Amino acid sequence: MSRIGLKTIEVPDSVTVTKEGNNITVKGPKGELTRYFDPKITFEQKDGKINFSRSSENDKALHGTERANLASMIEGVVDGYKKDLKLIGVGYRAQAQGNKITLNVGYSHPVVLTVPEGVSVKTTSATDVEVAGVSKQDVGQFAAEIRAVRSPEPYKGKGIRYVDEYVRRKEGKTGK
């Protein structure tokens, strides 16, 4: 059984955490995040430490989830989050301009995606894409949307993949 909800969160000096109703706002050097938290989970902050407690034993999963969400928000406003993607295939390339990213990944047309608010996209080379931001959810979601344009296929390994992703390869047909 997980006891993540019982762990104390250490709040750095550069971060302020405020609660207004059921919304918790976290402000830090990289930005500001606000999120709704369930009223079944109570929030207590003192001496730079935050503790969560639940109203009943039926809310154990929610207890751990809310604690993990706040810990991710604090880490995001202090350090930020980053996902790196790699385009693998002949002629595959990406180009970021302003709040749009253009992907040429083997279709008859380039695929243009609009970058959401709070997320930044850089192309360090023609085949490397870096998605960064303060919200773990927004960064992960947009990186998944980019990957879904042309997910890696198992025969030649072509497609868009995360840098640390392993694509299992299949053998293919054997001819006589």
Q: Specify whether 157 is located in the same domain as 87.
A: yes
Predicted confidence (pLDDT) at residue 163 exceeds the cutoff of 90:
yes
Both tokens of 56, joined, read 């009943």
Distances (CA, A) of 34 to 3, 26, 49, 134: 25, 6, 19, 11
Q: pLDDT tens digits for 56-112?
A: 888 888 888 999 999 999 999 999 999 999 999 999 999 999 899 999 999 999 999
Is 1's pLDDT higher than 60?
A: no
* Model pLDDT, residue 60: 84
The confidence score (pLDDT) of residue 89 equals: 92
170 occurs within a structural domain: no
Q: Which of these ranges, 3-7, 21-25, 127-131, has the smallest mean pLDDT?
A: 3-7
97/137 same-domain check: yes
Containing structural domain, residue 150? 81-162
Query: What is the number of domains present in the chain?
Result: 2
| Residues 90 and 21 placed together within one structural domain of the fold | no
Q: What is the pLDDT of residue 2?
A: 64
> pTM score > 0.75 for this model?
yes
Residues 101 and 148 reside in one and the same domain = yes
Question: Do 41 and 57 have their domain in common?
Answer: yes
Q: What is the pLDDT of residues 16-51, one digit of tens each?
A: 999 998 899 999 999 999 999 988 888 888 888 999
Residue 46 located in a structural domain: yes
For every residue of 25-78, DSSP letters joined together read EEE-SS-EEEEE--TTEEEEEETTEEEEEESSGGGHHHHHHHHHHHHHHHHHHH
DSSP string, 102-168: EEESSSSS-EEEEPPTTEEEEEEETTEEEEEES-HHHHHHHHHHHHHHSPPPTTT--EEEETT--PP
